[in-house]
A and B are shown apart, each in its own frame.
Chain A
Amino acid sequence: MNIRQVRNKIRSVSNVRKITKAMQMVSAIKMKKAQQLAIEGQPYRNDLERIITRVVANLDPAFSPLLSRNPAAKGRDLIIFVSSNKGLCGSFNFNLFRYVVKNVEFGKTDFVTVGKKGASLVGKMGSQIIADFSTGNSVDSVSAIFQTALMAFLDGKYQQVKLVYNRFINTLRHEPTETVLLPVKLQPTEEDKKEKEINSEYIIEPAPETIIDSLLRSLIEEKIRGAVIDSEAAEHSARMIAMKNATDNAGDVIYNLTLLRNKIRQEKITYELLDMITAKESVET
């Protein structure tokens, strides 16, 4: 490599570094917002689930069609698949896709997708997408996603509705998660079981039969909303980390290239000196 090529290379790498640095900053701000939303919304969703579990524990599942499988359902499943619209976010989509490819039978499953990357994967695997919510603000389209899934389930098209997304753990970690949304299955915790034995009297106002349906609906919708928010927080975190790594790597590359440039320049100078000295000596003798 000659010195001009090295100089060009250094310039282009430092431009790349500027870009990745800018993307890192943007992601860091988005990440903060998304993480805050994810963390502060957590208590509401947990509490809602806990309360509903208690209420449902005292009830006959026949009260709501959401609690049991639709007898007319064939052997198909529906998956709500939450991924990202954009790339450049490290292993975020890759890990999720690997999980899906490993665990999902594409022949028996239809999809509702949130995120273009996921939609294109499903398309490649040859499954049917019954609805795609990639455009627009994904948090705003939660009720639409929920309605679509609920209608399909109540019509008896699917025996299960599942949710697959990246669960946000912390900035450095997120993991692909799969939860069954419909039919709703609630596991009472140990504590609740004990409490039930001690005190079986639990007043529910108005009558549980009348509210259980709407309760379960709001629970499922809240779960989908939680997944979308979590996925967004994980996406921005993953992108921030990926861009930070890219910036660091660009720095390393620039460092090495600068060393190389100096070495080449020094070599050139040495050769020129040698030339001059040999010329001078040959003239003198």
Chain B
Amino acid sequence: MDTIHLKIITPKKVVLDEEVKTVSIPTFRGEITVLPHHTHLFALLVEGVIKIRKEAVEDYLAIGGGYMETDGRELHVLVSRAYGQSEIDQELIQKSIESAKKILSQSKDRNERIQATAMLRRSLIDMKLIKKRKAPRSVS
């Protein structure tokens, strides 16, 4: 079976470095799925959830914005942040969603609102990631 070498790198560390079968990534123009032997591609990424499929296991990672590049054999994903389901806490996210909404409904300061919007967007993505976990992890 053909595989593609996936590398997910953030400014802090290399998050993932392994052979996988397919990767679905949220780009600037919508979600794309990269398979082995993909044509050369460079794309701008937006915040969202990456879906990685190995043999029979699916894995999800929440990412910040960044870039991806592939040549069919290797897929490099450079993002501002990336973490898996085990690294986030549902309660904390719920709290941050609430506080972001509160700020948005009350504050009139422009900077504060921008920050709160960004926080809300990030938290919603994290929530999405948590919900994915409830889906069956192995696919036959």
Chain A residues engaging chain B, CB cutoff 8 angstroms: 37, 40-41, 43-45, 47-48, 51, 54-55, 195, 199, 201-206, 211, 215, 222, 225
For B41, list chain A residues within 8 Å (CB). 202-205
Interface residues of B in 41-98 (CB under 8 A from A): 41-44, 67, 69, 71, 76, 78
Please tell me if B117 contacts chain A, counting CB pairs below 8 Å.
no
How many contacting A-B pairs (Cβ < 8 A)?
58
Which B residues are closer than 8 A to A by beta carbons? Answer: 7, 9-14, 27-29, 39-44, 67, 69, 71, 76, 78
Excluding A43-B7, A55-B42, A205-B27, 14 further A-B contacts by CB distance (< 8 Å) are A37-B12, A40-B14, A43-B9, A44-B12, A47-B76, A48-B78, A199-B40, A201-B39, A201-B40, A203-B39, A204-B43, A206-B29, A206-B44, A211-B44
- Chain B min CB distance to A12 (Å): 45
CB-defined contacts of B78 to chain A, threshold 8 Å: 44, 47-48, 51
Residues of A within 8 A of B42 (CB): 51, 54-55, 202-205
What residues of chain A lie closer than 8 Å to B14, measured between beta carbons? 40, 43
Q: Which residues of B contact A37 (CB under 8 A)?
A: 12
The 5 nearest A-B residue pairs measured at CB: A40-B13, A205-B43, A202-B40, A51-B69, A204-B42
Task: Report the bound CA distance from A96 to B40 in whole Å.
Answer: 42
CA distance A43 to B71 in the complex (A): 18
Chain B residues, Cβ within 8 Å of A195: 71
Q: Interface of chain A, helix or strand or loop or mixed?
A: helix
Contact of B9 among A47, A204, A205, A225 (CB under 8 A): A47
CB distance from A33 to the nearest CB of B (A): 12
Identify the closest chain B residue to A208 (Cβ): B42
Chain A: CB-nearest residue to B69: A51
Q: List 17 interface pairs A-B (beta carbons < 8 Å), by A numbering.
A: A41-B12, A43-B14, A44-B10, A44-B11, A47-B7, A47-B9, A47-B76, A47-B78, A51-B42, A55-B42, A195-B71, A202-B41, A203-B40, A203-B42, A204-B41, A205-B27, A205-B41
CB-based contact B69/A205 at 8 Å: no
Q: Is the interface of B mostly helix, strand, loop or mixed?
A: strand
Whether B11 contacts A225 by the Cβ 8 Å rule is yes
A197 to chain B, nearest CB (A): 13
**A48 CA / B41 CA spacing, docked (Å):** 15
| Pick from B12, B29, B76: contact of A205, CB under 8 Å | B29
Nearest Cβ in chain A — how far from B14, in angstroms?
5
Most chain B CB inside 10 Å of its own CB: which residue of A47, A55, A199, A201: A47
Distance to closest chain B CB from A56 (angstroms): 11
Closest to A222 in B: B11
Indicate if the CB atoms of A44 and B9 lie closer than 8 Å: yes
> In the docked arrangement, what's the CA distance between A139 and B71, Å?
33
Partner of A41, one of B11, B27, B29, B43: B11
B73 to chain A, nearest CB (A): 11
Contacts of A41 in B (CB 8 A): 11-13
Q: Which residues of A contact B76 (CB under 8 A)?
A: 47, 51
- What separation, in Å, do the CA atoms of A206 and B45 have in the docked complex? 10
Looking at the assembled complex, report how far the CB atom of A96 sits from the nearest CB atom of chain B, in whole angstroms: 25
Q: Chain A residues with Cβ under 8 A from B29's Cβ?
A: 205-206
Residue among B12, B42, B43 facing the most chain A CB atoms (10 A cut-off): B42
Smallest Cβ distance from A224 to chain B, in angstroms? 12
A206 CB to nearest chain B CB (Å): 6
Residues of B within 8 A of A47 (CB): 7, 9, 76, 78
